[in-house]
Structure 1
Amino acid sequence: MKYVVGIGDHIISSNREDSIVIHALSSCVAVIFYDPVELIGAMIHIALPQNANRSGKAKKTFYYADTGLKSIIEELEKKYFVTLKHIQIHVIGGSNSKNENDQFKIGERNLKEVRSILKNFNLHFVEDSTGGNMSRTVELEIETGKLTIKTQALDF
């Protein structure tokens, strides 16, 4: 089955026949986790770097890098018994706006936060296709671990 990860969501699968896809990433960031030993794959679709609600748990945990990455890593370890030293991690997305006056720089900020969190967990990761001014669609095949990235120039 092909699972589509929406903005601020995540999917984890251990079914060899599955694939997981995120369509049209621009400033959002996809973090892909793959365990080639246990054949478990996961994707998170991050929209913003940090949850501004510091008083409690985020309503949309996976929408934010700071709360989402911690949650998906915990779920992989506790529910799927993934050994983090086996895991392959890919970071994709984080495009910039073509607007030179973009004060928010969400893509850049998303990438910075993702890098920081993964490094804090002492996790090695590869940035396959990040930054720039393009839309990306990424798909992971669970059985093989094959990662496919398709790009298209942004027109905004």
Structure 2
Amino acid sequence: MSLVTVGIGDLAVTGDPRAVIVTHGLGSCIALVAWDPGLRVGGMLHFQLPASALSPERALDAPGTFADTGIPLLFHRLYARGCRKEALVVKAAGGGSFNDRGGAFDIGRRNHAAMWRILRHARVAVVAEDVGGSRSRTVRLFLDSGRVTVQSGDQVAPL
């Protein structure tokens, strides 16, 4: 097994069938996962904020930080590996609400809304998601099968 760790504002795409792509500590951030079962190529993005307009210079250095720059980059890298949009199995997790009394910032909800807006515009279907709430999540994509798991504490569930 080859472990590929995706940090906050980062993404990874691989076709290594021994790889497991993982991201830890999803709170209000969202992990967007895509896998092509025919090619056995997959990727994961861990984005932190909905819009790059918040920090255009940061978007240049770390486009994966934002939904509006990271999501297109993830799909561009998948397409560069031969993936086709209609073949991709897309899933998402995260978007929780933490330390936001009264919902003043509501970053998790805003991240989720931005993700859906971008994916709808691109006509990309999401087949499963585990979003919201107030629990931290770890997400894993197993490249050999396309299986995605979401772990919160000791609980691991398929997505």
Using the alignment, how far apart are the partners of 2:41 and 2:60 within structure 1? Answer: 26
Partner residue, 1:134: 135
- Give the corresponding residue for 2:147: 146
Say whether residues 1:66 and 2:71 are aligned partners: no
The structure-2 alpha-carbon separation of the partners of 1:144 and 1:56, relative to structure 1 and needing over 3 Å to count, comes to closer
Q: CA deviation at 1:8?
A: 0.3
Gaps of 5+ in 1: none
- Secondary structure class of the residue paired with 1:134: coil
Q: State the shift of 1:54 in Å.
A: 5.2
How far is the alpha carbon of 1:14 from its aligned partner?
0.1
Give the distance between the partners of 1:130 and 1:89, measured in 2 at CA.
14
1:37 positional shift: 0.6
Distance in 2 of aligned mates of 1:95 and 1:55: 26
Distance 1:21 1:35 in 2: 17
Q: Distance in 1 between matches of 2:78 and 2:139?
A: 20
TM-score (structure 2 length as normaliser): 0.89
Q: How many residues align?
A: 152
Unmatched 5+ stretches in structure 2: 154-159
Cα distance in 1, alignment partners of residues 72 and 87 from structure 2? 18
Taking only aligned residues, the RMSD between alpha carbons, in angstroms, comes to 1.8
Check if 1:114 corresponds to 2:112: no
The match for 2:156 is: none
> Deviations along 1:52-101, whole A, 9 cap, x unmatched?
24589622111000001111111211x20111100000010000125432
Cα distance between partner residues in 2 of 1:55 and 1:150: 33
Q: Which has the higher helix share?
A: 2
SS at match of 1:71: helix
* Aligned-partner Cα distance in 1 for 2:126–2:34: 9
Partner-residue secondary structure (3-state), 1:82 = coil
Does the alignment pair 1:10 with 2:14?
no
